[in-house]
Structure 1
């Protein structure tokens, strides 16, 4: 009987913890208005020195990783589940993937379509088929689009310390 009571207590604790965790990881509410910030606050200097995605791509051709860089761009997709990643459109109409540093903050889904400045580091990485499919599912891509992912691909990945919505 004691074992059953202990087991019941453990199950209830896990269920309660899971529900609390689920509440904590929902995308933050907000309209992502000009001036709104997420993560570390960006200095005015960061906003002024922000480079275009084209300049970032040039830098990444020379080095696999560029640290302490500020980028400006337009958000094209945001993770609907938690706001834990988003994509930014490049100057040549491609997209690159952005995650938040240490999974330390999230962004509202309203960030989609907004212009931002973000600070952090960028690198070129080879992304596995499984990881590509995972993010395609998060983005609610069609099963046909997901099934079409069959090869690893090299792409730019950005890890943001802080993000600010700009004009």
Structure 2
């Protein structure tokens, strides 16, 4: 399955290399970054957190559950001290590999009660949604959700509504 990039693609040295990689991805010979299966793969992927060093800590995680208690995946709040960024990853466990509506949201505000901001990634994804923001000196909270059947299917979500991880 071909995934639409959520971040700008890096340029290759030659157009032949770019064409070859693009063609292989379209016909299914090479999995795209959105097919990452481990949290570490998602962290390093330019389609995920984009932290090529791969060093991070998990600050919090919540199960994405529907109102009947069925678990569809996990929502992670990650931190990279190297980048001064938080990343929220909504990683699918149910419908893994099937494109369904998936969202990751990161809310941030200055350590006081300053203005809020939010970044998000949402779309029809087979494996995960991820969003990253420089948050050093800010407090954060997060939300993630997975639909079982497109945008209108039953929804499972996980979140932390309280501000935390300030600094």
TM-score by structure 2 length?
A: 0.25
Structure number with greater CO (CA < 8 Å, separation at least 6) is: 1
Larger radius of gyration: 1
